[in-house]
Amino acid sequence: MGEDRRLAAVVALAQGMAAAHGLQEAWRAAALGGCRALGGSFAALSVWERELGRLRVLVNVGERAEDEEEFPEDESYPVHQFAEITEFLHERWAGGGEPDAWVETAEGPAAGSPGYVHQRVAALRRRGRGCCVVAPIVLHGRAWGELYVARPVGVPVFERADADFATVLASVVAAGIAQTERLEEVRRLAYTDALTGLANRRAVDAHLDEAVERHRRDGVTVSLVVCDLNGLKRVNDTHGHATGDRLLERFGSVLSLCGAMLPGALAARLGGDEFCLLAVGPPADEVVAAAGELCRRAAVLELGDGVACGVASTGDPIGPVGSARRLFRLADAAQYRAKAERSGRPVVAGRAGPDDPVVRLADEPSREERDGERRRFRGRHAP
């Protein structure tokens, strides 16, 4: 491959990773970019998990074998099966060597090889591949994992120049992973409540909009539990804000525990003493049961006065839910009624009959909204 084509391949790899949304997309872009740049038919990106003593495959792309999934849940290999991980990635590199790539063939070691690796050779033969190039990925000064690119039997075997180029590609992949991890951390902080570690209001708004769109498109059940932790002001005034913060943290743990009863539920702190659970998929009765468990556990929290809990679900007779805003108002109205009644159980919108007071309260426009409507009406009909 000429220098211009290699430069273009490096740029394409970097751009592909930069355009990725999230770590999985970045891993896939890295493997695809490396595969194309090296003229391979298959590529994989793997991470070295030191604490578990294994090499775990993150993504497989290209011509996959029957036992190779694109994003495998648990495809991993013990480190002791790959001597080069300790001998080459660690000992040679720590001793002053460079983390250079090398080539393996179905017949045995080739250019730049750190030694015969039986498992890799056996895997090549088993999957009908003729050769592979293995490029160590170094991140933050430590061996992070590897980029693996293979070619089928019957095509030219990778050469020393290919291994050298793979080393360059691995450094580009490392830079892309580092950038993606930084962005993921920024996103995590932007969507996480600093005190409790739960999701925050921004995360709820984003997930709720997506959930309601799924409900409108596919009919999936969307449920929202809104709760208000009672007695927080008294705890803050009597025992201090540090004690109040501990109460919020403890309730956050209880909310997370009850949310685990609902697969995929999002547990969040909306702000102050307000929390919520967003569940997409589980039936309304299961959500109400989880909310009931939340009320029971919150009632026995030390220092607190329980929780006022409201539930709104598209699985109940609440009328059409065309927006996230309406579902939120229904859950909030249910929570308001639970607080007014000092209820020790969740109040559920739509379950009090045809003229449910919660639904009526949620759907009545506030004074501010009525005034806003009047202003908009006058503006449209001004002379």
Active site amino acids: 273
Torsion of CA 257, 260, 266, 269, to 10 degrees: -10
Q: Across the chain, how many H-helices and E-strands are there?
A: 13, 12
Q: Where are the beta strands (DSSP E) in 114-169?
A: 129-139, 142-152
CB 308 within 8 A of CB 227: yes
Rounded distance, CA 102 to CA 275, Å? 53
The torsion angles phi and psi of 76, rounded to 5 degrees, stand at: -145, 160
The Cβ of residue 175 has, within 10 Å, a number of other Cβ atoms equal to 14
Task: Enter the DSSP assignment of 51.
Answer: G
Using DSSP's 3-state secondary structure scheme, residue 35 falls into: helix
In Å, what is the CA distance from 26 to each residue of 132, 170, 176, 373, 378?
Answer: 22, 13, 8, 46, 52
CB 137 within 8 A of CB 27: no
CB 311 within 8 A of CB 335: no
